[in-house]
Amino acid sequence: MKNTAKKAFALILAIVTVLSLSLSGCKKSDKDLLARIKEKGTLEMGTEGDWAPWTYHDQDDNLVGFDVELGKAVAEYIGVEAKISETDWDSILAGVDSGRFDTAFNGVAYTEERAKKYDFSKPYAFVDTVLIVREDTTDINSLDDLKGKKTANTISSQYAKIAEEHGATVVGVNTILETIEQLVTGRVDATLNAAVSFNDYIKEHPEAPIKVVATVAREQVVCPVKKGDDTKSFLDQVNACIDEMRASGKLAELSEKYYGMDITKE
């Protein structure tokens, strides 16, 4: 009987311990995203660092760009330090999924497919997606002409998805420089990209033998977070910061600084 009592007591103790640990874990998870960010004192953001003028390195190798400055402004508004980590595009949203990043500032476009996995801020920029080909190309003038052709794009990007939906084979690249190199050398037939990125490239490389033949989409640029019930307070702060910068004219000034135009209005 004594052994039975001891075993029963041990079993009860184990159950109580497990329940205690479970409750402790629940208490920890009760903190929403904003509270966790404030507790650690940093807003951890993912970005590419090689996609001008969104996010890139200047002549002194400083990380700069429209999204870099906006991300820092959001962190300051919340009252924490900005911690910006550079990685390739394919790892940015994966980093948000895994919790490595709280969010991302990298020209992320809203799509219904992404909305299944992420919650978003209100749009802070509106950009055209354009179809770019070599200057001497005559047989590609619309998305329908991409069937059987090759395009250069980051594999998991919205640009790659559009190209594949129209019958193109996508050759994977990591930077816009690689993209244009693939196009100019004839390894691919076309590419899809943001009009503002194309304009920035042409400004730096006016001799580049490439041209825009069509505007194929207009996208809303947003700040993504992993979908969940604990994101609202954080996104409220992001939206409030965007609203304040838009009302004061700072958002438009930031756009003019990097794009030479205001892309913050729909």
Mean pLDDT across 188-195: 96
Domains of the chain, first to last: 33-108+227-259 (3.40.190.10), 126-220 (3.40.190.10)
Contact 183/191 with Cβ under 8 angstroms? yes
How confident is the model over 64-83, as pLDDT tens digits?
999 999 999 999 999 999 99
Beta bridge pairs of residue 56: 64
How confident is the model over 112-135, as pLDDT tens digits?
999 999 999 999 999 999 999 999
Virtual torsion, Cα 47, 49, 51, 53, nearest 10 deg: 100
3-state secondary structure of 84: strand
The predicted structure's pLDDT at residue 24: 44
Q: Determine the distance from the C-alpha atom of residue 97 to the mean position of all C-alpha atoms in its chain, rounded to a whole number.
A: 12
How confident is the model over 1-55, as pLDDT tens digits?
444 444 444 444 445 444 444 444 444 457 899 999 999 999 999 999 999 999 9
Mean pLDDT across 202-227: 96
Mean pLDDT across 128-155: 97
**pLDDT of 144 higher than 70:** yes
Selection from 157, 133, 144, 132 nearest residue 219 by Cα? 157
**Least reliable range by pLDDT among 143-147, 193-197, 222-226:** 193-197
Contact 118/226 with Cβ under 8 angstroms? yes
The predicted structure's pLDDT at residue 17: 43
